[in-house]
Amino acid sequence: MAETLTTLSKLAIVQDIQEDASGAALHFHDGGHGRLSLPDTNYTYHLQLARRSQERQHPVGVRFGEGSAIMALARADNDVPMHIGEEEADRVVVLFQGHDGVFHLKRDHPEFDRLRALLDEAQRQKGRVWFIAQKPDLALLDALPAR
């Protein structure tokens, strides 16, 4: 499922789920909201991820479409950034302690400064962050401090 995420994806924690005959309305801790549509072929899986986010108070990756329509939900990972370095002019390399692969934070990401500062601080503190990445290039889409 993470393969279909785009830079419009963000991490959010589900606060409340209200189901009705046409789907489910999700309300997030940050005050945002969105709607899962029952006819979506991934509805059951997305609703399961939303419920797990609500129960565990862990973030989930959310990709919004038109209006408040939720196009996809994806499981978020958490780990400690071990190394953050410059690789190329257009991106920064990020290595995580428990994840294989070389992750990248693209400099043209709309929240590059926030994400870079968060990753730098987590590396200094040896603290965990929640994150979602787009496959196959492992581009970081969003990150939040793990609490």
If asked whether residues 10 and 52 sit together in one domain, one would say yes
If asked whether residues 95 and 69 sit together in one domain, one would say no
pLDDT in tens, 19-74: 999 999 999 999 999 999 999 999 999 999 999 999 999 999 999 988 889 999 99
Return the CATH number at 67: 2.40.50.340
If asked whether residues 66 and 24 sit together in one domain, one would say yes
Q: Which domain holds residue 56?
A: 2-75
pLDDT in tens, 70-93: 999 999 999 999 999 976 788 999
CA distance 92 to 137: 13
User: What region does 57 belong to: left with phi over 0, alpha with psi -120 to 50, or beta?
Assistant: left
52, 75, 98 - which closes a domain? 75
If asked whether residues 69 and 88 sit together in one domain, one would say no
The answer, yes or no, to whether residue 10 has pLDDT greater than 90, is yes
